[in-house]
């Protein structure tokens, strides 16, 4: 129960400071769960984020759910998800109550403009870290360039890019596995024929 409460509170904290979507939450998850508590590895965060991005729903919520599930199963998923969405529910309820008043105040407009700039910095930081940890083989770079072109130039839906990338990854690993198996069988036959 103590761990579930801690998961809830950590994700409540993350949800309170996640402006700008899922990317913005990754550095906070890393600091809280990897650096401070050592509950998960940094690569796990990126895997949960990738799963969260490729499943229906809000990426940040999906990532929180996956992370919570990895920590304490279904109860952990519920604790992380409810902790993550609670600040948003509270803030949105308050803003909805006073939206017209907030809209007219220049101070809030300037604050949100500054927050957007900070979120861009957070996103750039996490993209650089993800790039450093990612596979940099020629085939991976080809998938990256192709995905980028399909998204930016052709405006293809990210759903199709993610599904296509997943299919390409599966095919490549299958093909590599078959090649390695064939190579090992070839070596084995050569060794047997030498005897």
Name the pLDDT band for 195 (thresholds 50, 70, 90): low
Mean pLDDT value of segment 24-33 = 76
CA distance 52 to 151: 19
153 and 99 within one domain: no
Domain end, chosen from 130, 154, 173, is at 130
Question: Which domain covers residue 44, as residue numbers?
Answer: 1-130
Handedness of CA 54, 63, 126, 124 (dihedral sign): positive
123 and 51 within one domain: yes
With vertex at residue 108, the alpha carbon angle to CA 102 and CA 111, rounded to the nearest 5 degrees, is: 160
Name the pLDDT band for 15 (thresholds 50, 70, 90): confident
pLDDT score recorded for residue 22: 61
For 140-165, how does the pLDDT look when each residue is reduced to its tens digit (9 = 90+)?
A: 888 888 988 998 888 888 888 888 88
With vertex at residue 76, the alpha carbon angle to CA 53 and CA 16, rounded to the nearest 5 degrees, is: 65
59 and 139 within one domain: no
131 vs 82, residue with greater confidence: 82
122 and 151 within one domain: no
Beta-carbon-side half-sphere exposure of residue 112 (alpha carbons within 13 Å):
7
For 73-126, how does the pLDDT look when each residue is reduced to its tens digit (9 = 90+)?
A: 889 889 988 988 888 888 888 877 776 676 677 777 787 778 888 878 877 887
CA distance 23 to 52: 11
pLDDT score recorded for residue 33: 80
Question: Strand, coil or helix: what is 57?
Answer: coil
Alpha helices, H only, the chain? 2-16, 22-29, 42-54, 59-104, 106-133, 138-152, 158-194
124 and 147 within one domain: no
126 and 192 within one domain: no
**Which structure tokens are listed for 38?**
């050592």
Name the pLDDT band for 133 (thresholds 50, 70, 90): confident
119 and 139 within one domain: no
Beta-carbon-side half-sphere exposure of residue 58 (alpha carbons within 13 Å):
14
Q: Is the pLDDT of residue 48 over 80?
A: no
Confirm if 156 and 150 have CB atoms less than 8 A apart: yes
Number of domains in the chain: 2
115 and 182 within one domain: no
Confirm if 29 and 45 have CB atoms less than 8 A apart: yes
pLDDT score recorded for residue 167: 84
Domain end, chosen from 90, 110, 130, is at 130
158 and 84 within one domain: no
161 and 78 within one domain: no
pLDDT score recorded for residue 69: 85
114 and 34 within one domain: yes
Mean pLDDT value of segment 4-31 = 77
């Amino acid at each position: 129960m103590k761990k579930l409460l801690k998961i809830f509170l950590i994700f409540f904290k993350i949800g309170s400071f996640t402006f700008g979507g899922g990317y913005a939450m990754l550095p906070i998850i890393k600091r809280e769960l990897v650096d401070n508590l050592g509950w998960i590895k940094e690569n796990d965060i990126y895997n949960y984020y990738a799963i969260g991005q490729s499943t229906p729903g809000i990426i940040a919520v999906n990532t929180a759910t996956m992370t919570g599930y990895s920590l304490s199963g279904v109860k952990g998923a519920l604790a992380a998800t409810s902790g993550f969405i609670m600040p948003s529910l509270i803030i949105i309820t308050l803003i909805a109550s006073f939206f017209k008043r907030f809209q007219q105040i220049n101070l809030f407009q300037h604050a949100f403009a500054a927050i957007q700039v900070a979120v861009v910095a957070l996103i750039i930081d996490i993209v650089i870290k993800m790039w450093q940890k990612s596979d940099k083989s020629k085939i991976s770079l080809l998938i990256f360039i192709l995905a980028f072109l399909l998204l930016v130039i052709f405006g293809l839906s990210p759903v199709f890019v993610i599904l296509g990338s997943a299919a390409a990854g599966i095919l490549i690993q299958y093909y590599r596995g078959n090649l390695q198996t064939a190579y090992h069988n070839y070596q084995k036959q050569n060794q047997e024929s030498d005897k």
